Structure 1
Amino acid sequence: MKIIFFIVVNFCSLVLLSQQHSLPSRLPIDRAVINIDNSSSVRASPDVLGKEKEHAGNVLVQFQRASGASDQDWIGVFSPPVFNSSVCVVKTRIPAWGPYICSAPIKFQYANQSQDYVSSGSGQLTFRLINQRANFSFGLFSGFAEQPVLIAVSNVVTFDDLKMPLYPRLAQGRAWNEMTVTWTSNYLPSEAAPFITWQVYDDKYSFVAHPATTLSVSRGDMCGAPASTIGWRDPGQIHTGIMTDLWPTTRYSFQVGHRLQDASFVMSPKMYFHSPPFPGQESLQRVVIFGDMGTVQRDGSRTYFDFEPGSLNTTDALNNEINDIDIVFHIGDISYATGYLSEWDQFTEQIENLSSKVPYMTVSGNHERDWPNTGSFYNSTDSGGECGVVSSTVFNMPVQNRDKFWYKTDYGLFRFCIADSEHDWRDGTEQYEFLENCFRSADRQKQPWLVFISHRVLGYSSCYAPENTTGEPFGRDSLEKLWQKHKVDLAFYGHIHNYERTYPLYNQVLASDEKDFYSGTFNGTIHVVAGGGGFWLSQFPESKPSWSLNQDCDFGYTKLTSFNRSSLLFEYKKSRDGEVYDQFWIHREYKDVLGCDSLNMFCPLVTSAENYPA
């Protein structure tokens, strides 16, 4: 076992080393200036995409530079294609001369990715564009690392319909028999009324239509740069409809749409989902949990926060398994937009095949929420100025308050208690009270599987050396007693970019040394780090804590399968092939959670009076 562990550590080191060498220089668009060279040119074709209502298409970009072609030249995709200072928030800067560019490209490719560009001065590249509600143009730049200079601009490329409803995201509602659908469009409420329709599959008499609500985000809602400056891009109109009174485990079809002022309709394609089981329903229930995925461009383009090499592997593995998934939990660090708002469109398009078929539940992470002096528990700049506004608008979760992103959701035999690790969770806080009530109110006869989820590791991860105990200050001090008292079966975390599973634990003490089959009286909570969704991998320390059972430094995701009230299967799968690399079973009857735990730590009070016969 020790030899295997050191092989894993060395593999992680190699992965990190190779990633560091492949890191491109961060594009300094804030220093970019315009100096058009009439001897250079860029041409993009076709001019119009989406003529058959497709939301994505490829564009061939041909470019030429008469002299001075360099491996520092690059092609940027701009949308809207505004190449002047009219969109600048800060009107003065150093150097003060211009004109200059104040909006970031959506993505870019190096010109020398086209063979022989440096020697010939001409080349061509293919870009995949998605409908982002505005026109596109391509710019040829010189000088990547120090000061980019725009020397040529292409013709405009557009989509046939820039207002159409796009990228639907299903989610659990506040009640077990509700499902919400959130989508993006470019229709203002004054232009068209959003709505949703649904019906039981192939039952036209069950047809229901219901109006939807609309939210939008402005530059003024951002808390700082780059979200409020060069990273700002209008994320569109965000609509949410609620499907109510759903029959349990029933196949439904649904469409989202808009009623225009002339009484005509714009509709999405018809989509399908299965409604949730009722609390306590015994049926096959399959739950996928992972964190820290982000997005990667399928055309090989680069973006600003370009650190998620495993993102597409995980997305594609889940797409391949979609018929065996009932609900997904993405537990923080969702798109890694970090202030470059165009990434939210890129992400919702990337997961559309998942989010339009099963509930896609999200959790608040540091890269969604944290910004100084905005109420986040951590005073970091990890959100890039978004401060939770964008993520809580793009994804509609059953929270009571969008800024306090904790919630509970029931799915058949499961009760999920979702924490917001970017707000204080300690004893005496509002969130602590919520968590205690979420655990306490679970009816374990109906919902035997009690699961805790947060982004940051509020439990155990061996990557927090030298303590090797907890990821965050005071993490376990407040929550450990709650987990043990209420017999929480599993706790999941992201934030650390690898996979790790502990033995059943209480206060760093092994409650059981069993490895792959747990039965009978509750022992202790099993803690799982599932942060290998796509971001660069985290290295394990050289020493392995006694409570750490299995570790893997690779991209992957976890899956829970409940077969009935007493049998639960846990699996860890790698994104590269979707195969199982770790698993265990829990077999537990209702009587096993009624009395004391195996450590006799939290036993129900018993009267000392004798039980005399009546």
Structure 2
Amino acid sequence: MAWRASASSFHSHNKHGGDGVQPLSKIQIQRDVYKLHENASVTANPVLLGTKGEDSQWVTVEVGTPKPSEVDWLAVFSPANFKYYRFANDSNSDYSKTGKTSLKFQLINQREDFSFALFSGGLSNPKLVAVSNVITFANPKAPLYPRLALGQHWDEMTVTWTSGYNIDEAVPLVEYWGIKGESQTSSPAGTLTFTRETMCGPPARTVGWRDPGFIHTGFLKDLWPNSLYTYKLGHSLSNSSYIWSKSYSFKSSPYPGQDSLQHVVMFGDMGKAERDGSNEYADYQPGSLITRDQLVKELDGVDIVFHIGDMAYSNGYISQWDQFTSQVKPIASTVPYMVARYSTDYGKFHFCIADSEHDWREGSELYKFIEKCLASADRQKQPWLIFAAHRVLGYSSAYWNDGSFGEPMARENLQKLWQKCKVDIAFFGHIHNYERTCPIYQNQCVNSETSHYSGTVNGTIHAVVGGGAREPLIRFRTSAV
């Protein structure tokens, strides 16, 4: 069976608890056997998805078997790979008596077709009982899941998307325009992908591998500040025809120091979840949909989002990234969704985002980057200087060593730099909760005010914002700063 060697990721149903284990690893694939039953059936409808340009659609799956069991489960294959599963009795508690049930799955366009399969024997001794018809998206290769990010300069925006088109087959581009009636500008895009061999090891090289498609990035330049732009993703085919996405809109960045109200959202540790209730990473991040939905609800009042680490929790299962980019698409296609190490300006803010997975000690490459970034802030134009990283390099009540989260050298090496450059706020994720300190330096609050700080505060406020949705929340400790 082809799916054994290249199974995609799937999701763990919320009834079965969260133990931090990727659910696909629970299926004993090496033990699977054919037990096809002539009277068992699996039927999926509709068979053609995305006929109106949708990148996701609900599918109804009808299951019938003469020998039902409480541990029967239904898997999605794409293509002939495990994607995710649900237990057959999830929607019909009488399934084990009647042998019939109807389940709804939400599928996203992942550049391949899909089928469903019924298994008996539970996860430890899977037996293939029946396979459904094949269903597919009208254009599996369509350009999808745009995500915006600020460019190298304040008047630039980058847009990245995923498709099934190699650059040899179709040339990627972005078209964008400002006010109605303004001429459209076309910007070429670069293309990259990665292979199984570039992965560090299993499961990404084995059961977690899935073709990632092609990732394209275009640059939108010379944008007017605080202006509404519309864009669409495209691919120019060799026959001179074009494939276009739907149109999206965003507001460009204010110029450095522009006197305008700017709303910044900062969080970490969100993950992803499935709306159809199918099995997701051991019930690890069901709250991610709450975070996502709240952001979408308030999006008109959001200018830029910083997701500072622990994004998809893919743990070596490549298709989780398609699921994640699909989940955040309404946000990332509309406002800059910032995720990596960089220095950037946004209006009255100067941001220095560090990579906490590398050496940040004095003299290291990362330390030099942080030092240069902090020192480059023009405090006349950007009075707010913000530092951020994923792991807590400052203060948190959740761990030992005076709240240093077991990273005492980070604080020792960086706090003099924060103090010297007068960093206003340092944000961190990793701790799955919300915490905020007083303005602090060398373990001491340096301001007598408790909730409202004004004037020169002589220290940096440290905020832990890792409550994006990874559960459970970490309990506070009382012994720290």
Q: TM over 0.5: same fold?
A: yes
The counterpart of 2:368, out of the listed 429, 433, 440, is: 433
Alignment partner, residue 10 of structure 2: none
Alignment of 1:262 with 2:239, yes or no, is yes
Contact 1:305 1:336 in 2 (8 A): no
Inter-partner Cα distance in structure 2 for 1:195 and 1:497: 39
Query: Residue by residue, what CA displacement relative to the aligned partner does 1:191-225 show, whole Å, maximum 9, x if unpaired?
Result: 110001111121323x2111110001111111111
Alignment partner, residue 47 of structure 1: 47
Inter-partner Cα distance in structure 2 for 1:505 and 1:217: 44
The counterpart of 1:224, out of the listed 201, 205, 208, is: 201
Alignment of 1:327 with 2:299, yes or no, is no
Contact 1:114 1:124 in 2 (8 A): yes
Query: Residue by residue, what CA displacement relative to the aligned partner does 1:295-317 show, whole Å, maximum 9, x if unpaired?
Result: 11011111345400210000000
Alignment partner, residue 71 of structure 1: 70
Inter-partner Cα distance in structure 2 for 1:234 and 1:315: 26
Amino acid at match of 1:62: E
Query: Residue by residue, what CA displacement relative to the aligned partner does 1:258-309 show, whole Å, maximum 9, x if unpaired?
Result: 0111101111111111110111111111100001101110111113454002
| Superposition deviation, residue 166 in structure 1 | 0.3
Alignment partner, residue 23 of structure 1: 18
Structure 1: 5+ residue runs without aligned partners?
1-18, 82-102, 364-405, 548-614
Alignment partner, residue 214 of structure 1: 191
Q: Which has the larger radius of gyration?
A: 1
Instruction: Pick closer, same or farther for the CA change 1:21–1:52 going to 2, 3 Å.
Output: closer
Alignment partner, residue 510 of structure 1: 445
Instruction: Pick closer, same or farther for the CA change 1:466–1:408 going to 2, 3 Å.
Output: closer
Amino acid at match of 1:114: S
Residue 246 of structure 2 aligns to a residue whose secondary structure is coil
Amino acid at match of 2:196: R
The counterpart of 1:491, out of the listed 426, 429, 441, is: 426
Contact 1:459 1:471 in 2 (8 A): no
Alignment of 1:188 with 2:188, yes or no, is no
Amino acid at match of 2:45: S
Alignment partner, residue 559 of structure 1: none
Alignment partner, residue 162 of structure 1: 140
Alignment partner, residue 214 of structure 2: 237
Percent of matched pairs sharing the same residue:
51
Residue 253 of structure 2 aligns to a residue whose secondary structure is coil
Alignment partner, residue 350 of structure 1: 327
| Superposition deviation, residue 226 in structure 1 | 0.7
Inter-partner Cα distance in structure 2 for 1:360 and 1:336: 17
Amino acid at match of 1:273: F
| Superposition deviation, residue 114 in structure 1 | 2.5
Contact 1:487 1:522 in 2 (8 A): no
| Superposition deviation, residue 515 in structure 1 | 2.1
Alignment partner, residue 146 of structure 1: 124
Contact 2:397 2:477 in 1 (8 A): no
Inter-partner Cα distance in structure 2 for 1:281 and 1:304: 43
| Superposition deviation, residue 235 in structure 1 | 1.2
| Superposition deviation, residue 118 in structure 1 | 1.0
Contact 1:192 1:261 in 2 (8 A): yes
Structure 2: 5+ residue runs without aligned partners?
1-13
Alignment partner, residue 605 of structure 1: none
| Superposition deviation, residue 253 in structure 1 | 0.9
Inter-partner Cα distance in structure 2 for 1:407 and 1:221: 24
Inter-partner Cα distance in structure 1 for 2:401 and 2:419: 25
Correspondence 1:114-153 to 2 at 5 A: 114-115=91-92, 116-153=94-131
Inter-partner Cα distance in structure 2 for 1:502 and 1:42: 56
Contact 2:164 2:213 in 1 (8 A): yes
Amino acid at match of 2:51: K
Instruction: Pick closer, same or farther for the CA change 1:278–1:305 going to 2, 3 Å.
Output: farther
Correspondence 1:519-530 to 2 at 5 A: 519-530=454-465
Alignment partner, residue 385 of structure 1: none
Amino acid at match of 1:65: T
Correspondence 1:268-283 to 2 at 5 A: 268-283=245-260
Amino acid at match of 1:336: Y
Question: Which TM-score applies when normalising by structure 1?
Answer: 0.73
Contact 1:460 1:471 in 2 (8 A): no
| Superposition deviation, residue 151 in structure 1 | 2.0
Alignment partner, residue 299 of structure 1: 276
Alignment partner, residue 346 of structure 2: 411
Alignment partner, residue 311 of structure 1: 288
RCO greater where, 1 or 2, for CA within 8 Å and sep 6 or more? 2
